[in-house]
Chain A
């Protein structure tokens, strides 16, 4: 009997690509040590958090799904591994059981890198040009 679990990890915003790969391989190793198998490892992207965690406003979420045979101590092992060994990267974690009746598709909130990022860039461009033109005019008037 195989049970499906998922782990949502909130990592520090300054996480690099190498660190993310390292995180994935380490967790994969832990799952394999408990005779399970990883199904997926997804990067959600950067988010503005609802409140400050470890004095940082932003964070990066990773969702990992894995299968575990029934009756192993993998889940408790994984919890301790994350809180002890990955202490410097992972700020919050949540491991939850996935009901087989519920479809595996899920919805997640928009990250900063998706739609709002474009808006911000657009605003920044416009603002930049606006400031520039008004400043230059000001200089001419003063002269």
Chain B
């Protein structure tokens, strides 16, 4: 038996494939790949945690920070602890 090879591919499928593989680089959590970096997620290390805040002091969503769900939880928990100690702001400067 010979297999039928699909020659024509619909435009939508091509788009879908490029979106998946070509256009965006694959996302990977930087804390999962480097275990040492997890230790710097600490409420005392506010200079590091500042990188996970917006200008207005909001916590960056995981789709931007690139952290997996587990490490995003660590980050947001430490940021909230840091806010209590006045190391990080609850809200940024008003416009």
Q: Interface on A for B, CB 8 Å cutoff?
A: 8, 10, 47, 49-51, 53, 59, 61, 63, 92, 94, 96, 102-103, 106-110
Is A53's CB under 8 angstroms from B42's CB? no
Number of B positions contacting A (CB below 8 A)? 18
Is B90's CB under 8 angstroms from A51's CB? yes
- Let me know if B47 is at the binding interface, CB within 8 A: yes
Q: Using a CB-CB cutoff of 8 Å, which residues 59-73 of chain B contact chain A?
A: none
Is A107's CB under 8 angstroms from B48's CB? yes
Is chain B's binding surface mostly helix, strand, loop or mixed?
loop
Identity of the chain A residue whose Cβ is nearest the Cβ of B57 in the assembled complex: A50
Assembled-state Cα–Cα distance A10/B84 (Å): 10
Is B45's CB under 8 angstroms from A8's CB? no
Residues of B within 8 A of A61 (CB): 85
Q: Of A53, A102, A103, A106, which is within 8 A of B44 by CB?
A: A106
Interface string of B23-39 (1 = CB under 8 A from A): 00000000000000001
- Assuming the contacts A51-B90, A102-B39, asked whether A92 and B44 have C-beta atoms less than 8 A apart, the reply is no
Identity of the chain A residue whose Cβ is nearest the Cβ of B83 in the assembled complex: A50
Is A107's CB under 8 angstroms from B86's CB? no
Residues of B within 8 A of A106 (CB): 42, 44-45
Residues of A within 8 A of B81 (CB): 94, 96
Residues of B within 8 A of A47 (CB): 87
Residues of A within 8 A of B40 (CB): 107
Residues of B within 8 A of A108 (CB): 44-46
Identity of the chain B residue whose Cβ is nearest the Cβ of A106 in the assembled complex: B44
Residues of B within 8 A of A50 (CB): 83, 86-90
Residues of A within 8 A of B44 (CB): 8, 63, 106-108
- Assuming the contacts A103-B39, A107-B40, A107-B42, asked whether A92 and B86 have C-beta atoms less than 8 A apart, the reply is yes
Is A109's CB under 8 angstroms from B85's CB? no
Assembled-state Cα–Cα distance A63/B43 (Å): 13
Is A10's CB under 8 angstroms from B39's CB? no
